[in-house]
Amino acid sequence: MHALIVVAHPERDSLTHALAARIADGITASSAPGAGQSRHSAEIADLSAEGFDPRFTADDLAAFRNAGPVPADVAAEQARIDRADALVIVYPIYWWSFPALLKGWIDRVFTQGWAYEDVALGKSLKKLQRLRVHLVASGGADQRTMARYGYFGAMKTQIDHGIFDYCGAQVVTSELLLASDSGYPEAHLETARAFGQRVFAHTG
């Protein structure tokens, strides 16, 4: 099985990229079910290095309104997701949310007609029910601060429900790795590799 790992961080030597690489290692190191079958595969989509444009333009709006074609770069991203059995998003927490590049990727790529379909006022058809999503976030605040101000609930509302559940995609895992955690950062790298080995565990 195949996983698409999406990263939005400008520095290749960042913890975010290191976590993504370890997750990919874990995925490829885990064998697919059944003797003699091929191993799982992983592709890292480095949005910053690839120069993805996160701006929602008039062309995107026209596609949303079924008044124009889906922009070519958006169609290419949708095709990458279509080839994947799992979507893994690895990101640093900026202002308690996604980095702008990643949010723009979601704004542009998870379009009406592909991710969901409006069928009536207030009702939509979920079109990504086959997709399994794994979220791995890294942040600087400690667990106590996150809990005190309700970040965990806000994250599930904004991301799990507000984005992926709306499209029918199941959020299987939400990992939150913080700088205050014991053994940081080496322990997080070990956690990431172990996490990668479990991405397709449900298929066994």
Is 66 within the bounds of a domain?
A: yes
Instruction: Identify the pLDDT of residue 36.
Output: 52
pLDDT in tens, 33-75: 554 556 899 999 999 999 999 999 999 999 999 999 999 999 9
Is 29 within the bounds of a domain?
A: yes
Q: Is the pLDDT of residue 158 over 60?
A: yes
Is 203 within the bounds of a domain?
A: no
Is 175 within the bounds of a domain?
A: yes
Is 202 within the bounds of a domain?
A: no
Is 187 within the bounds of a domain?
A: yes
Domain that holds residue 134: 2-197
Contact in structure between 82 and 43 (CB atoms under 8 Å): no
How far CA 13 is from CA of 8, 17, 18, 114, 131, in Å, comes to: 13, 7, 7, 34, 29
From the list 133, 121, 146, the residue with the least C-alpha distance to 173 is: 133
CATH number for the domain including 46?
3.40.50.360
Is 24 within the bounds of a domain?
A: yes
Is 112 within the bounds of a domain?
A: yes
Contact in structure between 45 and 4 (CB atoms under 8 Å): yes
pLDDT in tens, 83-138: 999 999 999 999 989 999 999 999 999 999 999 998 877 788 999 999 999 999 99
Q: Give the count of domains, the chain.
A: 1
CA 3 – CA 84 distance, rounded (Å): 5
Stronger pLDDT, 4 or 179, i.e. the higher one: 4
Instruction: Identify the pLDDT of residue 30.
Output: 87
Instruction: Identify the pLDDT of residue 35.
Output: 45
Instruction: Identify the pLDDT of residue 124.
Output: 87
In the chain, pLDDT over 90 holds for what percent of residues? Answer: 79
